[in-house]
Each structure stands twice: as structure tokens, then as C-alpha cells.
């Protein structure tokens, strides 16, 4: 029991945080979150996450992953081409604007900074390659997100009337994502490894920062989320459908291009997982009036972690059966 709680503490904390914020009748929790957001705490948390992630990324491991060029290209195609296309197809059905925006925000995100790498290693995959995909995808996202989001909103509907200043958004993301990541990589000790407690503690601290970002986002969107309670079942189904289709595309890609076990895991997990903090930041910044979009981002994070956690076990059993 304790082991299960320890393994799933982040999901439990995410669920508990959402419940406390949304069910607090006095609005004390939500007011505190909105007050903190006024001091640009979301931007600070995002920058800190990427700085610390860069600090613990091992450059020698990233260099080791460069040799798998085919796997890297395939993973990036899944992240930046296949995922938005799947979202566009799903959005062709009659859906609420807030649901579409949440779907599009998730679809254009780069891969996760931590869980994808962990799950790749747990499934027996190449951790060095997953680290490379992480750095490349999150660096590319400062250009791809503004362009892909504007395109999806224009073609798929939703809040197409909301202007997206692509240049300004690229600059903002460069300052909040790429610059802190590169600074973290540059400041990482060259001659000795980071202390073990930092290697273990930073990912946990980053997850706590993600919880803080979600709390501030939910605080600002509380009223809209509560008013859309009837749509939660639909959102749960759509998040499952989106991730299932993206996983199916990932498995099809590794099969068609003959990516063998040991190399395929990084393509599957890094190609299909999506980061949560950036999605929440963009929802809060660009679409604060669409609280359902925030709910979609948070629900997707729940669903894709549970689905991929099950997948890790299946892939491991498959390797043992070979």
C-alpha cells in the first residue's frame, strides 16, 4: 500500500489539489492561487523547472543518443506532425470551443521533461536517446507551438478570434523555456556529477512546481470549470481517445521503420507524452476565459500517465517473452 502511494504520489497530489481548489466553498484556496499568479509566479515556476531540468541532464548521455538519428526524426514527427493532425481530426466533430482549445493545447506541446525519460528506462529503452529527444523537442517548441496553435485554431475552429502574436509568443517561450534550459546545461558541473540528493530531489521538486502551476491555473478558472461539470465525462473520453490514437501511431511507426526493442521505447514514450506546465501556462495566458481547456490539459496528464504506466509493464513482459 505504501509502495503504491509512493509510486503514484504525484497523481494523488494532483487529484487532491484539484478537489480542494474546486470544492472549497469559501474560495480561500482559489483566492490564494489567483493572488500568487498576479506576481507572475507561473512564469517563475516554468523557468525554474526548465533550469533545474537542464542542470540534471547529462550532456554526455545526450551526445550518446545522437547516433540514433532515425529514431529522433520519427519521434519529432510524432510530436509535431502526427499529434496535431490527430487533434485536427477529432476537432472536426462538433465540440465546445473550450474542449477544442484544450485538445489543441495538448496536441502542440513538446514531450515531457521527466516522466517520459523515466518510463523509457523502466521499459528497457535507451535513456540517452530519450534525453536527446527531450532537449531537441522542447527547444523546437518555441517556434512550433505558436505556428501550430494558430494553424489549428484557424482550421479547426475554437477561439479562432483570439489573436496569437506569434513573434511575441516565441520570444516569451524562448525566455521561459530555452534560455533556462541552456543555462542549466551550461552551469552543470563539468568535472564531477551532481550530488546524489540533487539528482533525486530535483525531479520531485519540479513535480511540486507543476502542482503549483496547476493550482494557480485552476484557481483562476474555477468558476468556468465548475459550470462545465457535465462535460467532464466527454473530456475524459477525448483525452483517452487522443492518447490511444497517438500511441497506436507510435507503434505503427516503429513497426513500419523496423525500430527494434531497446530503441523503440524512446520513440513510443517521447513521441506520445505531452508536457503539462507549458500547456497550463498558455491556457492561463491566452485563453483564461476557457476553463474547460485547463480541465482538458489536467485530465490528459492523468490519463496518459496511467495508460503509459500500464504500457511499461506490457513492454517489459514482452521483452521477457522474447
- Cα dist from 26 to 30, 107, 242, 259, 288, whole Å: 9, 35, 36, 54, 22
**CA distance linking residue 225 with residue 230, whole number of Å:** 10
Asked, for residue 14, whether it belongs to a domain, the answer is no
Asked, for residue 175, whether it belongs to a domain, the answer is yes
Asked, for residue 13, whether it belongs to a domain, the answer is no
pTM: 0.80
Asked, for residue 38, whether it belongs to a domain, the answer is no
Asked, for residue 93, whether it belongs to a domain, the answer is yes
Asked, for residue 24, whether it belongs to a domain, the answer is no
- Residue 282 belongs to domain with CATH number: 1.20.1530.20
pLDDT digits (tens, 9 = 90+) for 68-102: 889 999 999 999 999 999 999 999 998 988 899 99
**CA distance linking residue 22 with residue 232, whole number of Å:** 14
**CA distance linking residue 282 with residue 152, whole number of Å:** 15
pLDDT digits (tens, 9 = 90+) for 237-254: 999 999 999 999 999 999
DSSP string, 62-99: HHHHTT-HHHHHHHHHIIIIIHHHHHHHHHTS---HHH
Asked, for residue 108, whether it belongs to a domain, the answer is yes
Count of the separate structural domains present in the chain:
1
pLDDT at residue 157 in the model:
63
pLDDT at residue 322 in the model:
45
Domain range for 218? 46-321
Best-predicted range by mean pLDDT (123-137, 165-179, 221-235): 123-137
Let me know: does 217 contact 284? Beta carbons within 8 Å: yes
Asked, for residue 271, whether it belongs to a domain, the answer is yes
pLDDT at residue 200 in the model:
80
pLDDT digits (tens, 9 = 90+) for 180-218: 888 988 888 777 777 888 878 888 888 788 788 878 877
Amino acid at each position: 500500500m505504501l509502495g503504491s502511494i509512493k509510486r503514484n504520489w504525484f497523481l494523488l497530489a494532483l487529484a487532491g489539489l484539484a478537489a480542494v481548489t474546486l470544492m472549497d466553498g469559501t474560495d480561500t484556496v482559489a483566492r490564494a492561487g489567483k493572488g500568487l499568479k498576479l506576481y507572475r509566479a507561473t512564469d517563475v515556476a516554468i523557468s525554474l523547472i526548465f533550469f533545474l531540468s537542464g542542470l540534471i541532464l547529462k550532456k554526455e548521455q545526450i551526445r550518446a543518443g545522437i547516433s540514433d538519428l532515425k529514431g529522433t526524426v520519427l519521434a519529432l514527427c510524432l510530436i509535431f506532425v502526427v499529434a496535431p493532425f490527430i487533434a485536427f481530426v477529432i476537432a472536426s466533430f462538433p465540440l465546445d470551443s473550450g474542449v477544442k482549445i484544450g485538445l489543441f493545447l495538448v496536441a502542440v506541446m513538446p514531450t515531457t521533461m521527466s516522466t517520459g525519460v523515466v518510463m523509457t528506462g523502466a521499459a528497457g529503452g535507451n535513456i540517452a536517446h530519450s534525453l536527446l529527444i527531450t532537449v531537441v523537442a522542447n527547444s523546437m517548441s518555441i517556434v512550433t507551438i505558436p505556428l501550430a496553435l494558430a494553424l489549428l485554431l484557424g482550421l479547426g475552429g475554437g477561439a479562432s478570434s483570439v489573436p496569437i502574436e506569434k513573434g511575441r509568443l516565441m520570444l516569451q517561450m524562448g525566455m521561459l523555456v530555452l534560455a533556462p534550459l541552456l543555462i542549466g546545461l551550461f552551469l552543470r558541473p563539468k568535472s564531477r556529477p551532481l550530488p546524489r540528493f540533487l539528482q533525486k530531489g530535483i525531479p520531485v521538486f519540479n513535480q511540486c512546481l507543476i502542482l503549483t502551476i496547476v493550482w494557480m491555473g485552476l484557481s483562476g478558472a474555477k468558476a468556468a470549470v465548475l459550470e462545465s461539470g457535465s462535460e467532464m465525462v466527454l473530456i475524459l473520453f477525448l483525452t483517452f481517445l487522443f492518447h490511444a490514437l497517438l500511441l497506436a501511431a507510435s507503434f505503427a511507426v516503429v513497426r513500419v521503420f523496423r525500430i527494434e526493442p531497446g530503441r523503440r521505447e524512446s520513440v513510443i514514450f517521447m513521441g506520445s507524452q505531452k508536457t503539462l506546465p507549458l500547456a497550463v501556462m498558455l491556457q492561463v495566458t491566452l485563453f483564461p476565459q476557457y476553463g474547460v481547456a485547463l480541465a482538458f490539459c489536467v485530465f490528459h496528464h492523468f490519463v496518459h500517465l496511467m495508460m503509459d504506466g500500464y504500457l511499461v509493464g506490457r513492454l517489459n513482459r514482452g521483452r521477457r517473452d522474447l
